[in-house]
Amino acid sequence: MSEMSERLLRGTSKPCGVSALLVLEDGAVFRGSSCAADGEVFGEICFNTSLEGYLEVITDPSYAGQIITMTYPQIGNYGVNVQDAQSEKPALRGLVVRDLCTTPSNWRSTKSLPDYLREKNVVAIEGVDTRALVRHVRDHGAQRAVLSTLDTDEASLLAKVRASESIVGLNLAATVSCEKTYEFDDLPERQAFAVTSAGERRHKVVAYDCGAKRSILENLLRAGCSVVAVPWDTPAEEVLAMDPDGVFLSNGPGDPEAVEGTYTQVEKLLGKVPVFGICLGHQMICKAAGAEIEKLKFGHRGGNHPVMNLLTGRVEITAQNHGFGLLFPSLGTLVPELSGGFKGHEEDLRFWARSRIAPVVQNEKFGRIRLTHVNLNDGTAEGIALLDIPAFSVQYHPEASPGPTDAHYLFTAFGRLMDGRDDYLDIDIAADRLAGWTFGDVTETIEVKPAMTEGGR
């Protein structure tokens, strides 16, 4: 081969990494090649179905303790802009992809994803049949896994993973929370070309940082809030002494049962100040109310999960990242006169979506609680509103990093709750999702046509 041919080959071909192995605790084995840092890591295997936003996924603190499989076949093709990172360093244990792009193309890219992963010492494997891996996890459930570039002996790794620690019962939120209270007032210029400036700060919000993504706190700023973040176990008395207009409970990783230092404080806050929780924060409100939390078979992770708002009948396409979920019947007994006359709970909550009813239960601690949102994929609970005190929560991420903007209205709803409005969730989500963006003229009136009647055109 000529020197020129060799140069062309080096410039257009991706070098092959050393052998790497992914072994699950049930004995499933997936071989591939190392494409980032060398090492051996243990965690719970999971998968994310997002088509884009891989950097936001990788830097989401909610992935602490997990090995992420990306279902989209090529990851890294638009590179990395570190301004899009959701935390200073990735909290995940490892990354699994079909193909990792080494030559990205994007005007905002500052480096390739493989380079970024090596800088952050993230162990990753490519060349894996991710479709087969995802099918296996869907059939057999989430489980412990080991990813290694150092040991490629199947029997050795299987013994190691079966001896490894489960994330069930671990307080992973404590590992990714802030160490001390701080004021968050940072709106970077990364989206200045598309997003308008933040408005007047009308509300003071204290945010429990259980692993908060930057973009969530940024959205609170854009919704007119000043934000003070506090560690996951900050006593309620200290929070109330700050005299906030509202308290926000952030996303976070792992088993909510283990985050007692947060939900015991939330129990003291409910009824004394408006509260809004998302993801783990939603589970903290549920735990404070005495609810049971179940571990889902393989969780919800991705930017394409359909959720029905039972109050409006609108369907939101949502971004999600959680492996545990609320058992709605455990909140209390149904109130028939507020639940369409129905007296018994339904295991599949899509019953309420089909019936167009937002059922209400009587909770022993906090009075009436309404189911507001339901997942249309599997019929699990996605949101609640406490009717006798100012508090509500959702299981998903409303800030669209990554994912759709359908649920952005929840930040507006929080502001309205702090204003004392009873109709805080009565919002046109189609109009709200355009607020603050400068793509085209969004001030133009949008005509909403009535739904087609039977036999009509």
Name the binding residues for L-glutamine.
62, 252, 254, 280, 283, 321, 323-324
**Cα(231)–Cα(434) distance, integer angstroms:** 33
**Cα(425)–Cα(415) distance, integer angstroms:** 10
Question: Residue length, the chain?
Answer: 457
Pick from 244, 261, 249, 170: nearest CA to 203: 244
Residues 6 or more apart from 40 whose CB is under 8 A from it?
123, 146, 147, 148, 149, 150, 151
Pick from 361, 398, 395: nearest CA to 283: 395
Binding residues: 62, 252, 254, 280, 283, 321, 323-324
Cα dihedral: 272, 276, 277, 283 (round 10):
50
Residue 399 exposure: Cα atoms within 13 Å on the Cβ side: 23
- Element of type H or E holding 140: helix 130-140
Q: Which residues are catalytic?
A: 279, 397, 399
44 burial type by CB count under 10 A (0-12 exposed, 13-18 middle, 19+ buried): buried
The encoded tokens of residue 59 equal: 């830097």
